[in-house]
Amino acid sequence: HQEFRAINFGAGPGCIPDSVLLEAQKELLNFQGCGKSIMEVSHRGKEFEKVIQETKSNLIKVLSIPDDYDILFLQGGASSLFSGIPMNLCESPNDVVDFIVTGAWSKGASTDGKYFCKVNKVADMEPEKFLTVTDPSQWKFSPDSTYIHYCDNETVHGVEMPPSTPDHFPEGRIVVCDMSSNFLSKPVNVSKYDLIFAGAQKNAGISGITIVIIKKSLLTKTKPSVPSVFNFLKKSQNNSLDNTPPTFNIYITGLVLKWIIKEGGLEEMERRSIEKSSNLYKFIDGSNGFYRCGIDAKYRSRMNVVFRIQDGNEQLEEKFVKEASKHNITDIKGHRSVGGLRVSLYNAITVDQTKKLIEFMTSFMNENKQ
Ligand code: PLP
């Protein structure tokens, strides 16, 4: 990490490994000797064909994606899938979709969903301020939902669901999961899901590309009336190249995947995530209430650590953000809807950088506690 580079704990777009940016810089004007930037080549030409195929096969490799799944690269952000998914999967607006509402993003999906289907909230954690999740035994699935939607990691509220979550769903249901903010942070048993989607701008590259991993058998559900940009079947049939895809963004995701492989794969990403997040939570919990994370320990996110200073002393929180920037620590303000502080520990953040943050938090506490 070069000295002048900020230690960027932003939630998204988040930090990108220096080596990925340097590689992109190195070949920016002359991609693999073709005399053009990857931004300037045709999406149907041989240079880009190689990039998209390599990106796909490396994604298959790191996540061990089984053969009966396809990968789509879409535009419009993960938010576009909040309508894109019901458009493709629901036969009529009378279809019922089960949503587990555990934070801002699953709530957002249920809000957009109601234009395309009947929304059943299996659980709604908003009255609990999204600080916890009810026990799966209390979830109220509808008897015949078209699919179940949940968000694996709620970026705003700092709530992460356990990998066992789909095991609590009624058998045979289609499972849709928004993994935008913990995608590629750990190994995932893809076969538990029918559709996984993720905006790339946290652990998988830059904004402007949304990755969809979809069970091929689901593609038959798409009606011809689904507009082309949302049409999963058409995207699949055309290798996501039926219109111009965000070529540079797919290229960057390809570089990020190569970086993950070089660093030791998703097992290593998970090992680092556990180390970084447990160091930080342990420190917060041991601070005698100076710092406090209100999230139920069972559901605390390894990716987005949300906390308050002195139970919401806004003046002190503002001072904290200001002083942190003097230590090159940036982007730690909580989401505007919840306030407080949020530290995102995406893959490009190192264990050492998290230690530096904890050192700063220690000295700030010692200087400011009464
Ligand atoms: N889902 C989750 C979990 C997110 O964190 C975000 C953005 O931060 C979104 C969906 C929306 O993504 P986008 O901004 O790409 O539409």
What domains are defined for the chain? Answer: 21-262 (3.40.640.10), 264-368 (3.90.1150.10)
Rounded Cα distance between 333 and 226, Å, is: 39
Protein residue with least CA distance to atom 5, ligand 1: 155
Report whether pLDDT(296) > 90: yes
Contacts of 269 (CB under 8 A, 6+ apart): 184, 185, 186, 203, 260, 263, 347
Split at pLDDT 50, 70, 90, the class of 294 is very high
The pLDDT of residue 189 is: 98
Contacts of 359 (CB under 8 A, 6+ apart): none
Note if 178 is an active site residue: yes
Ligand 1 centroid–CA 115 distance in Å is: 19
Note if 105 is an active site residue: yes
pLDDT digits (tens, 9 = 90+) for 318-351: 999 999 999 999 999 999 999 999 999 999 999 9
pLDDT digits (tens, 9 = 90+) for 35-85: 999 999 999 999 999 999 999 999 999 999 999 999 999 999 999 999 999
Ligand 1 centroid–CA 35 distance in Å is: 35
For residues 296 and 135, is the Cβ–Cβ distance under 8 A?
no
Pocket test for ligand 1, best of 155, 156, 157, 212 (most atoms within 8 A of CB): 155
The pLDDT of residue 277 is: 98
Report whether pLDDT(193) > 90: yes
Q: Percent of the chain, pLDDT > 70?
A: 100
- CB of 151 sitting under 6 A from ligand 1: yes
Question: Pairing relation of β-strands 175-178 and 341-344?
Answer: unpaired
Ligand 1 centroid–CA 326 distance in Å is: 29
Using CA atoms, how far residue 326 sits from 167, 203, 276, 346, in Å, is 46, 26, 22, 22
Note if 112 is an active site residue: no
Q: How confident is the model over 217-231, as a mean pLDDT?
A: 97
Ligand 1 centroid–CA 13 distance in Å is: 10
Protein residue with least CA distance to atom 9, ligand 1: 78
Report whether pLDDT(14) > 80: yes
Give the 3-state secondary structure of residue 175.
Answer: strand
Task: Indicate the average pLDDT of the chain.
Answer: 97
> Can you tell me the ipTM of this complex?
0.99
Count CA within 13 A, CB hemisphere, residue 266. 18
Split at pLDDT 50, 70, 90, the class of 25 is very high
Rounded Cα distance between 197 and 11, Å, is: 17
Q: Which atom of ligand 1 is nearest to the CA of 103?
A: 3
DSSP summary character for residue 300: B
The pLDDT of residue 303 is: 98
For residues 181 and 153, is the Cβ–Cβ distance under 8 A?
yes
Report whether pLDDT(1) > 80: no
Active-site residue among 178, 194, 234, 331?
178
Protein residue with least CA distance to atom 2, ligand 1: 180
Rounded Cα distance between 231 and 241, Å, is: 12
